[in-house]
């Protein structure tokens, strides 16, 4: 069976590119023929090396018909799996919307949307998914229940969570001196957060304020693997008295990232990974860190608890704030600081849990679940 993965390019080590890469890698190992279509790329196909094999990445820029047609004519897939926020299907919420089924169905290609949501899905999103899907994969049980509540038919949907490449993201003993490569102090307690910088829901100032609270009692340092975007981070550094305690990369490339191996090294070098996010579709940063054996602290979003198997420390949600189409779930700096202090004082996930979590979150497990889904949906796989 040949599967076309339509998403960000797997050569991009942030966002959906990470999911496309990991899923494609382990589908290939399981015997599927995999091709990639990049929704951000124009021009001739580029190639990416996975497991020593070169895979072409075809241009499917913006989901435009001419690019989709060319890719399908060249590759002749059986199934196309689209990994992206489903707002891209709706003209009221996305500036250049597109649909896949009108084009792909003419070639006999089944369309599977693997579609995260961060809150209550607008009716036009659900309607668009019903119209454009042969099958919908919900990346969390939480998303599945919301889709059902808002009218998506259960016989056309399954839960398939995203995974982590546990060959890369694993516990490692790295000399503390390696912290200097990233500008980190060798002897401070280092809190790390990571994510796309122009997303207000990442709520970095909450974590910065939590760091200022902890700094009154502990020698802490905050590493923000991001760039200046929605927040003027330097302003918060000065306002909160954190000068010398916050490290931000000198160069942060939003749509490229750093090699997976470097990210895994970072997780292993810091003391804790934290996310105070107010909305998330999955938040794979927490999953990758936990797969590396690191303690995680996060806002108590249902998706955070689910995707980390309730294996971290969670700051309670205390308020709601309206976003474009849903309510952001907000915690406080004080609640985040309380949980981080538990880690400073010695709390760690136990080894038995980490081993179980790594088995559960691995892409091998996800591919086995995907094969079961195909067996249960012969209308997709036949």
Would you tell me which CATH number, out of the four given (2.60.120.10, 3.30.460.10, 3.90.1210.10, 3.40.50.2000), belongs to the domain 176-360?
Answer: 3.40.50.2000
Q: Are the beta carbons of 316 and 300 closer than 8 angstroms?
A: yes
pLDDT, one tens digit per residue, over 264-323 is 999 999 999 999 999 999 999 999 999 999 999 999 999 999 999 999 999 999 999 998
- Percentage of residues in the chain with pLDDT exceeding 90? 84
Q: Are the beta carbons of 59 and 41 closer than 8 angstroms?
A: yes
Q: How far apart are CA 248 and CA 277, in angstroms?
A: 18
Instruction: Write down the pTM of the prediction.
Output: 0.96
Which pLDDT score is estimated for 257? 65
Residue 7, strand partner residues = 38
Rounded average pLDDT over 366-382: 95
Q: Is the pLDDT of residue 188 over 90?
A: yes
Q: Which residues contact 307 (CB under 8 A, 6 or more apart)?
A: 140, 161, 162, 282, 283, 284, 286, 287
Which pLDDT score is estimated for 296? 98
Rg from Cα positions in the chain = 21
Hey, do 2-163+362-381 and 176-360 end up sharing a CATH topology, with the first three levels equal?
yes
Sort residue 49 into left (φ over 0), alpha (ψ -120 to 50) or beta: beta
Q: Which residues contact 250 (CB under 8 A, 6 or more apart)?
A: none
pLDDT, one tens digit per residue, over 114-169 is 999 998 899 999 999 999 999 999 999 999 999 999 999 999 999 999 999 999 99
Task: Please name the CATH architecture into which domain 2-163+362-381 falls.
Answer: 3-Layer(aba) Sandwich (3.40)
Which pLDDT score is estimated for 46? 85
Q: Where exactly are the structural domains of the chain? A: 2-163+362-381, 176-360
Three-state SS for 142-205 is HHHHHHHHCCCCHHHEEECCCCECCCCCCCCCCCHHHHHHHCCCCCCEEEEEECCCCCHHHCHH
């Amino acid at each position: 069976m040949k599967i076309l993965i339509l998403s960000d390019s797997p050569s991009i080590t942030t966002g959906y590119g990470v999911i496309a890469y990991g899923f494609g890698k382990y589908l290939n190992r399981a015997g599927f023929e995999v091709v990639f279509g990049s929704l951000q790329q124009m021009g001739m196909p580029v190639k990416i090396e996975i497991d020593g094999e070169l895979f072409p990445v075809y241009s499917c820029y913006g989901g435009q018909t001419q690019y989709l047609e060319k890719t399908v004519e060249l590759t002749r897939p059986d199934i196309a799996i689209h990994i992206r926020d489903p707002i891209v299907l709706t003209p009221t919420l996305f500036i250049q919307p597109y649909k896949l089924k009108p084009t792909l169905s003419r070639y006999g290609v089944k369309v599977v949307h693997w579609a995260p949501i961060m809150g209550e899905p607008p009716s036009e999103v659900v309607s668009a998914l019903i119209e454009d899907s042969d099958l919908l994969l919900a990346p969390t049980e939480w998303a599945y229940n919301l889709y059902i509540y808002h009218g998506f038919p259960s016989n056309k949907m399954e839960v398939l969570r995203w995974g982590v490449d546990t060959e890369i993201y694993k516990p490692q003993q790295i000399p503390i001196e390696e912290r200097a490569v990233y500008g980190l102090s060798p002897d401070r307690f280092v809190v790390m957060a990571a994510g796309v910088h122009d997303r207000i829901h990442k709520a970095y100032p909450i974590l910065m304020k939590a760091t200022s609270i902890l700094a009154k009692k502990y020698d802490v340092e905050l590493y923000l693997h991001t760039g200046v975007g929605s927040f003027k981070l330097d302003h918060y550094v000065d306002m909160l008295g954190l000068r010398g305690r916050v490290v931000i990369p000198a160069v942060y490339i939003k749509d490229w990232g750093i090699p997976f191996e470097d990210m895994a090294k970072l997780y292993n070098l810091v003391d804790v990974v934290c996310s105070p996010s107010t909305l998330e579709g999955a938040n794979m940063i927490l999953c990758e860190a936990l797969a590396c054996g690191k303690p995680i602290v996060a806002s108590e979003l249902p998706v955070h608890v689910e995707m980390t198997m309730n294996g971290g420390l969670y700051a309670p949600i205390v308020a709601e704030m309206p976003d474009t189409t849903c309510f952001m779930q907000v915690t406080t700096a004080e609640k985040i600081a309380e949980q981080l202090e538990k880690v400073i004082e010695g709390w760690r996930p136990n080894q038995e849990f980490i081993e179980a979590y790594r088995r559960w979150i691995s892409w091998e497990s996800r591919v086995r679940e995907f094969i079961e889904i195909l067996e249960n949906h012969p209308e997709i796989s036949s």
